[in-house]
Structure formats: C-alpha cells, structure tokens
Structure 1
Amino acid sequence: MSRSVSRRRAQSVPDSDTGDKSTVALKKEIGLFSACGIIVGNIIGSGIFVSPKGVLENSGSVGLALILWLVTGLITGISALCYAELGVTIPKSGGDYSYVKYVFGGLAGFLRLWVALLVIYPTNQAVISLTFATYALQPLFPSCFPPEKALGLLAAVCLLLLTCINCLSVRWATLVQNVFTSGKLLALTLIIIMGIVQICKGHFYWLEPAHAFDPLEPYEVGRIALALLQGSFAYSGWNFLNYVTEELIDPYRNLPRAIFISIPLVTFVYLFVNIAYITAMSPQELLASNAVAVTFGEKLLGVMSWIMPMSVALSTFGGVNGSLFTSSRLFFAGAREGHLPSLLAMLHMNRCTPIPALFFTCNATLLMLCTTDIYTLINYVGFINYLFYGVTVAGQIVLRIKEPDMHRPIKVSLVWPAIYLIFWALLLIVSVYTEPVVCCIGLVIMLSGVPVYFVGVYWENKPKCFSSFVDKMSRLGQKLCMVVYPAEDEGKKSDGEEKESST
C-alpha cells in the first residue's frame, strides 16, 4: 500500500516493453443504454423473483406493502439524485469511496473500502453465484436440493467465466450485462402481463380498497420501519454506475440520464410485479413461498413453469457480471489512491481492463464460497453499507459548505439530501434498536480497518526489506498480467497523495 511504491510502478516497465503508456487508460465505452443496464442489472437480482415477502410480512397488509414499495423507490430516487450531483462534481471512478475520501479524508474513505473489500463484495458475489447455481441445476434435481459440491463448482465456473470476459473486453462485459438485463426485464414483463390478465379475469380480491388494508398482523411502527428497510435493501445497487464514472461516454449527461431512466423503471417493475403476485396468490401463500416467482409460474404457466427458475438463473448470472465489473473499479480506484497495493491500479497494455483488480475480487469471492457463514457476514455489514450511504449524502451538504464555488454541472436543492438523511437516520435507529448485536459486530468489522490504515497507508517510511518485497511482487504481477499503471493518472494521484498527507 506504500504510495512511494505506487509511483515507481508506473515506471517499472520500460517504454519499449509497454508501448505508448499514454494510451493505457480506462476507455470511455459505456453509453447510455449500457449505463442503464448496469444500474437495472445490479438492482434487480434474485430478490424480486425469490422472496419479496419481507416487505409484506412487516408492513401488515397488502395495500401498505405496495405503498412502501413505492415510497422506497422514491427515496432511492432521491439518494440517486444526490449521487448524480456528486458523480459529476467529483468525476472519479470509485463511487461513494471516492466521494467520502474527498470530503472526509483518507481514513473515512479507507474504512468504506475496507468493508467492501473484506466482506460486502465477496459475500454478495458468492451468494448471487450460488443462487445462480441453485436455479440452473433445478431442472436436473426437480424433487430435491442440488448437492452442495455441484452448487459450489457451478458457482465457481460462473465466477471464472465472467471474470475472463471482463478481463478480455469492457465491451464484452457490457454486452453480457445488456443481454442479461434485457432478459430479466422480459421475464418480469411476462409476470406483469400475466398479472394484468388475472385482473381482467377478476382475480383482484386483495387489491380492492375494502380488502387491501385488512391487517395480516397488527400494525406496528417498528415493523413498518423494518418493512421500509427491507424495501430499501431490495434497491441495493442503485449507486453502482458511480463506480465506473470514468468509463462513461459524456458522464455529465449520461450519469444523471441513466439514473432518471433506471430508478423509475425499477420502481415501476417492483410495484407491478408485486401486484401480479397478489393476483395469483393469497398473502398467506406468498409468505409461505421460498421462491415466489416459481410458485407464481407453477400456478399460471403449467408446462411452461420452467421459465421462472431459468429467469432467476439468468438474472443472477447478469448480477454476478455487474458486481464483478463495478467491484473491480472500486478496488482499482482504491489502489490508485494508495489505499491498496499498486498492482490493483494497473491496466492491461492492450485491452485496458483492470485485470489485477478483477483477479483480486474473483479470488476473494472464491474463498467466500468455501465458508459456511456467508449470510451471517452479509447481515453484519449490511448495516455498515447503509451507514455509508448516509455519510456520502451528508458529504454532499458538507461539500456545499466547504467549497461553495466548486463547479457543479448538476446542483440539486439541499431539501433532497435533507429528506434522505431524515429517512436514513430513522432506519438506522430502528436497525440498532431491533438488532443491536448485529450492528455492533458490523461496526467492529469496520473499525478493524483503522490499524490497517495507519500501518499500511499512513506509515510511509516502512522498512526497506518490506518495500523491496512489495516492489518485486508488483513487478512479478505486472509481467504475469501484462499490465502497467495509467500514465495520465499519475498527476491526479500525486495531487491526491499531497492532499492526504496533509490530513
């Protein structure tokens, strides 16, 4: 993590070996359609197909559950609007990590990166890939659960295949994302159309005003807040486009446009898919199902019911691709700022893809597949992940105060971040109140990064033997991956280091 080592890395391979290093950079190859594919593809994973019952279970009635799906969509849109301003004001890849570091300093940024590096991305990718394997193998094991070894093997193959595609070409990776996002939207459109058909047939008992708000459980403020939290987590991934800002074509226009298109689209899909489910199942049946879309398909599709499990498999396959794509850019940005080994900030000489960062996130995920506590880890850091959303939006207000004259191609009213922060604070209070142990463990995991920061990043004068070892390993990694440090980022990196050394 030494910053002096990072600077030498850009010069460690002679020009004769690397060619013109000025051409080695993240290429602007993500247009508006692909940008929308990244947002929609990362938000819509397996949750809407498998288990949307958390909102219904805690809201207390069908009508209130549908209202909460709409409310969480609106709140997500507000937070995305705040991120749009930050994304064009600080046009750097890395998303909230880059914004938190810029506004609050190196330690705060590193803690955001630390949690993502240690748990969030590896565990999420492992869970999504295992979900893909489960539904892909379901036709081969119709009457029982697939063997664990088969699940792990197929999940690993999925990860390795998609990592190779991301290493080979950004265009191939975005093509995969676009295709599979389109596929999952078609599957959800099919569900919505079948729901409309059900309504036309008169199957809308639970949507009638007289019955929609019949309480399944007594209404409780705490449970309604938990339902909002469940709904908010269902929109996770809305900020992933900010991780690849530097690869967007015309980011000042396409970043906000992609957000304004994608968030309303996802909100519409979530709301009407849940309406469709209610037309085919009673609330009790929905709550009893572990895979709502599969149960829905079995009731309405007959011999074509296999479409639903295959849709889940395709959706999660695209979700793994999107997560690999964005997580590698986060680690690339962290290494470029001197918070991770410099090798992770290097790009392939010809393909201009962050191969070391992709290998890193893939290997971390493969290690997670060997553990049995993946879901437990996600629960611990889910609170911290949501905590940093609020910290980032608060940074928008702080930046307005600290640098009022900063160029802002988009400038939203401060009313919007204020509304989001009120909502965010209420959800955090409910989280701490209902699950104090989980939240405390999440905080401990985050704070474990503090000594790592001071030893790995802040301490510059490390022993020469250590620097020499890191130097040799970085050169070996360069040769194996055929990567170099982007020359045009050197100036930016130096500026960032000077700012960090002054904090």
Structure 2
Amino acid sequence: NVGVALTIWTASGLVSLMGSLCYAELGTALPFSGGEYSHIKRGLGSLPAFVFVWTSTFTKPASNAARALLFAEYATQPFYGICPAPEVLKKCLALAVLWSLGILNGRSVKVAAWVQMVFTLLKMMALSVIAVGGIVLLVGGRKENLARFEDMFGSEMPNASQIAEAFFQGLYAYGGWWSLNYMAEEMKNPSRNIPLTVMTAVPAVIVFYLLVNISYLTVLTPKEIVSSVAVAVTWADRVIPSVAWIIPLSVAVSIFGALNSSMFTLGRLSYAGSQSGHLPVLISMLNVHTCTPAPAMIFSTTIASIFIIPSDLIMLTNYFGFSAWLMIGLTCASLIVLRYREPNLHRPYKVFLPVPFVMVAMSFFLVLAPIVWSPNTQYFYAFLFMLGSLIVYLPFVHFKLHFAFFDKITCYLQLLLEVSPADGSDESKCE
C-alpha cells in the first residue's frame, strides 16, 4: 500500500523528531557520557539503568550486525547482477567491516570522527542523486511514472501488528538521533549545539527519505520494491544503467558511515556503564597509548560478530526495534520524572511537556502491538532476557558480590591489552 508506506515514512520521521527534542532537553540539562543510560539512572534509578545497559549491550551490537550485513548486501550486489550474492561472502565481508571499524574506533577518536565526516558527505551525495533523479522523472510526467500515486490507498490495509513492525523498520532507518547525547560531555557548548543540530538535521533527513522513496516508487512498482534484494541497485539499473554501479557503492558508503557512528557511541555506553559498576571494570579502562576505550570496542564488536551468524535482517531490525523502543520509552519517562522531581534543574532547552508523554505512549504501542496482535517467540525471549538482568543485578551490583579470580582475569587482560583505569580523564583530554 503506497499511501500507507509513505505515511509511515513521514510518521516515523515525526516520531524521531519528537524523540530527538526530548533527548535534546536531557542532553543539555545532563551533558554526561553514556547518553540514555545516564538519563535513566538519574531519573528512574540504578535498576532501570542496569536493565538498559544490559539490554543495550546486546541489542545495539545486533543493530550494528544488521548494518554490516546491509553494507555487504549492497557492496556485493553489483558483482552478481540479478543473482543473489553468496551468503558466506556477505557474512565474511560484514565481519571484516565490523572489525575494521572496531579497530579504528579503538585506536583513534580523531580518525574515527574524520571518517564519519567524509562518509556523511558521501551519503548526502548519494541520496541527492536518487532524489533529484525521481523529481526529474516526475516532472517529465510520463503516465507509467505517475500511475503508482493515482490511487495510493487502494491496496489492502495492514493491521496494527504490521503497522508496528513497519514502524520498527522505518524508525530503524531514522536511527541515530539519540547518538548526540552520548557525546554531550565532549561537545563544545552542548546547550546550543544539541538543539540546533536536532532542529535542522532531523527535518532534513525526513525530506530526503521521502524524496528517495517517491523516487523509488516513480521508477519501480511496489511488487518490484518488495522483491528487490537491494532497491537502490534496481533503481539505478533502470534510471542510469551505464553507471548503475555508482548507486550501490554510494549506499554501501552511507551504511558504512552509519555503522561507524553507531560503534563510536556504543563504546561510550559500555564505558559509562562500567564506570558506574554495572559492567566489568575492564570495560571502563583506556588504552595507555591512544587513550581510547579499546576493551569496550572489543567487547561490543565481538557480540555484534555473533549476531552476523543468523544473517536475517528483518529479524535483527525487529528485535532491535522492540528492545530499543522500550528503552526510549523509559528515557522519555525519566524526562517527565525529572521535570516534577527536579524543577530547578538548569535546562538550557525545554521541550513542550506533552511531547514526552506522546513518546512514552508511542514507545509502549510499538512494544505491545506486535505481542498482542501477532505473538512471536522472539519478543518472549527478549522479555526473558531483560528479566534475566535481575539475576545479575541483585548479587553483583546490589549486594556487591565479588570473586577474587575476577581480579586475576582483569589483571591479565589489562596487561594483554595495555589498558589502565581512566582516573577521571576522558578521551578528549587524552587526545
């Protein structure tokens, strides 16, 4: 259903904008490393914060695995034409990309930031080519190009569960707006830069994504889009066949940049959780030569590598979306709690109060709708996994149970990895 699809793309963008505005208030009021983890800990307490870091330790690497597999899909497709690329090849390439970026982020913050800037520019160029190509074809006014938009809502309407799962995937594409808060502590003038970035970047992304999807629908039928392994490749074969390889290469570059950003922020989450005693102390240590959180990067990259094995993109994005939106709901709930519990907290930017209430309601809809209308074992396992955090929290965090042999293992790994405690100095000061 073309109309519903474009509506969900638009709604996903607006939900992401509302969420980013909520996060802008938290990031400017509490500019601490760790992003959502620090906000939940301040607003809701230690146990919800531990559940968040426990869940994110696995769901965010799952998201990285999905991005790495998507990169491999686009990077290999031009070499195989209409035939699917071998699964083993895609998995090997995804693993290579994951570990390359893991090593890069574990070696130098400055180089990782430079790579992010370059790949963001390349990403915008790729989206511009597809968007402009679609506008040109629409302006041309050929009947077959306009046919898909004449009766946009005429096809079968999806049910609530399908809409929720579509939101998971649409919101996954907009994912990244929460990343700013992970770097608030290292940012120059966060009280100005975080709201400014949110209010300019997220609307720009919404416009780009809508133009790109309209461009796809101008050239391809909905059935062709659904059946295509890599939609941008199919689009390029139709519109610019002589240089069609440029588009999949550009999309792969775009995904590479998104993956680099995600791994950059994930290291800071693990680092902040370890500093608060919610993860092993080794993860909060910095490399003595580069002052980067190398153990945190190795830890998260290893978990992401395990998620590469199933290679089911839809399963990974749905599982990630289900867990992530529960955590986003908790983060927005912590904003509401802090508004009433700490009314005098300095807030350089304040979001309109109904917005976080809408975000909490939206988050719980996205979590509960698939469970109620289309029960799936993956959601049951996700809940069990979250509850499993209590088995770890009670003895090791609440009662501070400690085993001497953990110290020996930590000491050995500390020597092997050449890392030491941060001693209150963050990476930006080391750099």
**TM-based fold match above 0.5:** yes
- Say which of 247, 254, 258 aligns to 2:186: 247
User: Does the 8 Å contact 2:127/2:208 carry over to 1?
Assistant: yes
Q: CA deviation at 1:107?
A: 1.3
User: Does the 8 Å contact 1:380/1:441 carry over to 2?
Assistant: no
- Say which of 198, 217, 232 aligns to 1:259: 198
Which 4+ stretches in 1 moved above 6 angstroms?
none
- Say which of 484, 488, 494 aligns to 2:424: 488
Closer/same/farther in 2, CA of residues 74 and 367 from structure 1, 3 Å limit: closer
User: Does the 8 Å contact 1:192/1:273 carry over to 2?
Assistant: yes
- Residue in 2 aligned with 1:460? 400
Mean alpha-carbon deviation: is it higher for 403-412 or for 429-438?
A: 429-438
Structure 1 letter corresponding to 2:414: Q
Aligned residues: 425
User: Does the 8 Å contact 2:286/2:293 carry over to 1?
Assistant: yes
Distance 1:372 1:218 in 2: 29
3-state SS, counterpart of residue 436 of structure 1? coil
- Say which of 194, 199, 208 aligns to 2:133: 194
Q: CA deviation at 1:444?
A: 0.9
User: Does the 8 Å contact 1:132/1:316 carry over to 2?
Assistant: yes
Q: CA deviation at 1:164?
A: 2.1
- Residue in 2 aligned with 1:65? 5
Q: CA deviation at 1:194?
A: 0.5
Deviations 1:183-236 (A, max 9, x none): 121111000111111012113767589814341214756655554444333322
Q: How does 1:45-84 map to 2 (within 5 A)?
A: 60=1, 62-84=2-24
Say yes or no: does 1:473 pair with 2:393.
no
Structure 2 letter corresponding to 1:309: P
Q: CA deviation at 1:396?
A: 0.6
Distance 2:163 2:317 in 1: 22
Q: How does 1:431-442 map to 2 (within 5 A)?
A: 431-437=370-376, 438-442=378-382
- Residue in 2 aligned with 1:26? none
- Residue in 1 aligned with 2:31? 91
Say yes or no: does 1:324 pair with 2:324.
no
User: Does the 8 Å contact 2:148/2:217 carry over to 1?
Assistant: no
Closer/same/farther in 2, CA of residues 150 and 292 from structure 1, 3 Å limit: closer
Deviations 1:129-148 (A, max 9, x none): 22222332334434643333
Mean alpha-carbon deviation: is it higher for 219-228 or for 478-487?
A: 219-228
Structure 2 letter corresponding to 1:267: I
Deviations 1:423-450 (A, max 9, x none): 3343334222223334322211111111
In structure 1, the gaps of 5 or more residues are: 1-59, 491-503
3-state SS, counterpart of residue 353 of structure 1? coil
Closer/same/farther in 2, CA of residues 200 and 86 from structure 1, 3 Å limit: same
Mean alpha-carbon deviation: is it higher for 424-433 or for 208-217?
A: 208-217
RMSD: 2.5
Closer/same/farther in 2, CA of residues 372 and 233 from structure 1, 3 Å limit: closer
Say yes or no: does 1:305 pair with 2:241.
no
Q: How does 1:107-118 map to 2 (within 5 A)?
A: 107-117=47-57
User: Does the 8 Å contact 2:62/2:307 carry over to 1?
Assistant: yes
Mean alpha-carbon deviation: is it higher for 402-411 or for 345-354?
A: 345-354
Closer/same/farther in 2, CA of residues 252 and 204 from structure 1, 3 Å limit: farther
Deviations 1:61-120 (A, max 9, x none): x33432332222112111110011111222111111221122111111111111111x31
Q: How does 1:16-165 map to 2 (within 5 A)?
A: 60=1, 62-117=2-57, 119-142=58-81, 144-165=83-104
Closer/same/farther in 2, CA of residues 127 and 387 from structure 1, 3 Å limit: same
Structure 2 letter corresponding to 1:232: L
3-state SS, counterpart of residue 400 of structure 2? coil
Q: CA deviation at 1:326?
A: 1.1
- Residue in 1 aligned with 2:384? 444
Structure 2 letter corresponding to 1:69: W
Distance 1:374 1:212 in 2: 30
User: Does the 8 Å contact 2:65/2:307 carry over to 1?
Assistant: yes
In structure 2, the gaps of 5 or more residues are: 427-431
Distance 1:333 1:461 in 2: 20
Closer/same/farther in 2, CA of residues 240 and 292 from structure 1, 3 Å limit: same
User: Does the 8 Å contact 2:66/2:317 carry over to 1?
Assistant: no
Closer/same/farther in 2, CA of residues 114 and 136 from structure 1, 3 Å limit: same
User: Does the 8 Å contact 1:478/1:484 carry over to 2?
Assistant: yes
Q: CA deviation at 1:356?
A: 1.0
Deviations 1:458-498 (A, max 9, x none): 22253xxx23x2223323333333322222369xxxxxxxx
Structure 1 letter corresponding to 2:28: V
Q: How does 1:219-234 map to 2 (within 5 A)?
A: 223-224=162-163, 226-234=165-173
- Residue in 2 aligned with 1:9? none
Closer/same/farther in 2, CA of residues 176 and 192 from structure 1, 3 Å limit: same
- Residue in 1 aligned with 2:429? none
Distance 1:157 1:428 in 2: 33
User: Does the 8 Å contact 1:203/1:280 carry over to 2?
Assistant: no
User: Does the 8 Å contact 2:24/2:194 carry over to 1?
Assistant: yes
Closer/same/farther in 2, CA of residues 184 and 377 from structure 1, 3 Å limit: closer
Deviations 1:310-345 (A, max 9, x none): 123212222221221111111001101101111111
Looking at CA atoms only, which structure, 1 or 2, has the larger radius of gyration? 1
